[in-house]
Amino acid sequence: VVEVKEDTKGVLRECLLYIQKYLQRKDFNGFFAYPVNDVIAPGYSSIIKDPMDFSTMLSKIENDLYNSIMDYKNDYVLMCNNAMTYNRPETIYYKEAKKLLQSGMKMMSKEKLLTMRGSLG
Ligand SMILES: COc1ccc(C(=O)NC2CCC2)cc1-c1cc(C(C)=O)n2cccnc12
């Protein structure tokens, strides 16, 4: 009998790719698809100290830099909070960030993570 080594890193990567694919579909304008720069958002780099976007999160997933879904969730919340810090509430960016945050929290709710962790063993 060949002992199949539980490749948890691979399982985590599949989960994160699935979650990101689902959440990124909501960013149909692509406002969160790649890093915001000072050309499109004046003064951005002096206001936002820890920028985050979906392309950065994808490369972190692919390089196994996330040790848990909670790690990924922290970057996701950071990305949304950055947009709600730099942009005024009446802007499309603030509004979209708020929607992304809500759907992300539903997708990665604590109880869901606990059941998932349970089934992962
Ligand atoms: C990768 O970021 C972007 C890419 C494309 C666009 C864009 O197409 N903006 C057009 C819609 C009205 C101008 C905006 C952004 C963008 C994101 C953001 C965020 C996420 O804060 N942002 C803030 C101020 C100005 N522009 C932006």
56 CA from centroid of ligand 1 (Å): 16
Regarding an ipTM greater than 0.90, the answer is yes
For 88-110, write each residue's pLDDT tens digit: 999 999 999 999 999 999 999 88
For 32-89, write each residue's pLDDT tens digit: 999 999 999 999 999 999 999 999 999 999 999 999 999 999 999 999 999 999 999 9
Are 105 and 23 within 8 A, CB to CB?
no
Sequence-ordered list of residues with C-beta below 8 angstroms from that of 71, at least 6 positions apart, any chain: none
The H or E element spanning position 93 is helix 92-107
pLDDT band of 6, cuts 50, 70, 90: low
36 CA from centroid of ligand 1 (Å): 7
Q: Choose among 103, 84, 90, 116: nearest CA to 14.
A: 116
For 40-51, write each residue's pLDDT tens digit: 999 999 999 999
Sign of the dihedral defined by the CA atoms of residues 50, 54, 58, 61, in that order = positive
* Dihedral angle of Cα 3, 16, 59, 66, to the nearest 10 degrees: -70
Residue 116: pLDDT above 80? no
d(CA 26, CA 29): 9
| Binding site membership of 66 for ligand 1 (Cβ less than 6 Å) | no
Q: What is the DSSP letter of 83?
A: H
Are 116 and 14 within 8 A, CB to CB?
no
For 14-38, write each residue's pLDDT tens digit: 999 999 999 999 999 999 999 999 9
Residue 4: pLDDT above 60? no
Residue whose CA is closest, atom 2 of ligand 1? 31
119 CA from centroid of ligand 1 (Å): 39
Which numbered atom of ligand 1 lies nearest the CA of 86?
21
Write down the pTM of the prediction: 0.91
| Binding site membership of 34 for ligand 1 (Cβ less than 6 Å) | yes
Q: What angle do CA 73, 18, 96 make, to 5 degrees?
A: 55
